[in-house]
């Protein structure tokens, strides 16, 4: 393994350790504890007695010194054990796995749609740079990019769902519905996911548009583009065969590097639409001070973001041979 890869791996490991440590500390800094209230099962909460609280705090080891709790937490993580939910009374990994698929559906769909739309609009804007079409696209997309995803979600919810009744108000699928076939169920899921995905996509298009516009503009100034125009190639062929292919490097890198912010936006949007992903789950976990569940969700999100950054670093070297050649020239 090269020196550069070893250094990069150590940086990732150090980052994981820092985040794991913060992940352990932050829930315990929060006021209150997991045993203030217990669910009564009917949408209300019943308060624990002091004897019950003391018993459960001792039972789950929360009366131990913080350093012992920390070492125990690290040891369990090395075994792949995320802990046991204090509120839902089941393994944290099982709870997260049930919710993770819904969040991934929103994130992946928003990444694909925003990338395609942003690249197409950015390429068109770069081709007609400083003209009326470019000015209109630039203004509209800059305005949209400044609106937070959760606010866009509220606007879409009140207009398309409440006002026009075109989409469901909340949830991931219709409750107690009898779906006749798998595609009917898939359509029901897509109808519920449409507004959250649309909110995340619109919020993210602006950044992808600007990156594509700048990248394509740089490519359009290259000599081989002048040669392509001199040959009489059509605009569509030049734009989609020669320009976009050579402008994809920063775009592909940005796709993975922006996954972290997109996951954060998805957490807020899920709460707007009561969508049963990790975003809604983290709010529920914080409300009941479920330490293991809070730690498990943050850890999964961290691994997801770091994994995306690692893929971006790897792809950057694969897509741009100059990076690899430069590293070899330095002996790393």
Phi, psi of 46 (to 5 degrees): -110, 135
Domain extents in the chain = 100-290
Quick check: helix, strand or coil at residue 46?
strand
**Cβ-contact 221, 229 below 8 angstroms:** no
Residue 47, beta-bridge partner list: 37
**Cβ-contact 206, 145 below 8 angstroms:** yes
pTM of structure? 0.77
- End-to-end CA distance of the chain: give it in Å, rounded: 10
Supply the pLDDT for residue 41.
42
Supply the pLDDT for residue 56.
76
Q: Hey, which bits of the chain come out as E strands? A: 37-39, 45-47
pLDDT tens for the chain, 332 residues: list them.
567 667 777 887 888 888 888 888 887 887 766 776 554 444 445 566 777 777 777 777 777 888 888 898 888 888 888 888 888 888 999 999 999 889 989 988 998 899 889 888 988 888 888 889 989 999 998 888 888 888 999 999 999 988 888 888 888 888 777 777 888 888 988 999 999 999 999 988 888 888 888 888 887 777 777 777 677 767 677 766 667 667 777 777 778 777 766 777 788 899 899 899 888 898 888 887 888 888 888 888 888 888 877 777 777 666 655 545 444 444 44
The domain defined by 100-290 carries CATH number 1.10.3720.10 = yes
In angstroms, the Cα distances linking 26 to 23, 72, 74, 286, 324 are 6, 16, 15, 11, 40
Q: Compute the distance between CA of residue 24 and CA of residue 19 in angstroms, rounded to an integer.
A: 9
Supply the pLDDT for residue 241.
67
Supply the pLDDT for residue 316.
66
Phi, psi of 102 (to 5 degrees): -65, -40
């Amino acid at each position: 393994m090269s020196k550069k890869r070893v250094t990069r791996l150590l940086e990732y490991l150090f980052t994981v350790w820092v985040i794991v440590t913060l992940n352990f500390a932050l829930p315990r800094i929060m006021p209150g504890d997991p045993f203030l209230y217990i669910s009564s099962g009917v949408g209300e909460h019943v308060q624990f007695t002091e004897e019950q609280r003391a018993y459960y705090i001792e039972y789950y080891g929360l009366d131990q010194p913080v350093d012992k709790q920390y070492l125990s937490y690290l040891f369990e993580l090395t075994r792949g054990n995320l802990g046991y939910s204090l509120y839902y009374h089941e393994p944290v990994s099982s709870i997260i796995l049930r919710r993770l698929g819904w969040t991934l559906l929103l994130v992946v769909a928003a990444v694909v749609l925003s990338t395609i739309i942003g690249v197409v609009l950015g390429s068109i804007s770069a081709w007609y740079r400083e003209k009326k079409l470019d000015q209109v696209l630039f203004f509209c997309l800059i305005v949209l990019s400044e609106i937070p995803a959760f606010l866009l979600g509220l606007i879409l919810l009140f207009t398309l769902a409440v006002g026009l009744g075109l989409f469901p108000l909340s949830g991931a699928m219709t409750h107690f519905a009898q779906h006749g076939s798998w595609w009917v169920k898939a359509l029901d899921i897509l109808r519920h996911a449409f507004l959250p995905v649309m909110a995340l996509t619109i919020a993210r298009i602006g950044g992808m548009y600007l990156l594509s516009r700048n990248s394509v503009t740089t490519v359009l100034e290259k000599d081989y583009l002048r040669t392509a125009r001199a040959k009489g190639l059509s605009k569509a062929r030049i734009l989609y065969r020669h320009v976009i292919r050579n402008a994809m490097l920063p775009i592909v890198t940005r796709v993975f590097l922006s996954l972290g912010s997109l996951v954060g936006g998805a957490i807020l949007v899920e709460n707007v639409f009561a969508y049963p992903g990790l975003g809604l789950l983290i709010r529920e976990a914080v409300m009941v001070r479920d330490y293991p569940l809070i730690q498990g969700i943050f850890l999964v999100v961290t691994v997801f973001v770091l994994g995306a950054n690692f893929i971006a670093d790897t792809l950057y070297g694969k897509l741009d041979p100059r990076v690899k050649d430069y590293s070899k020239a330095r002996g790393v």
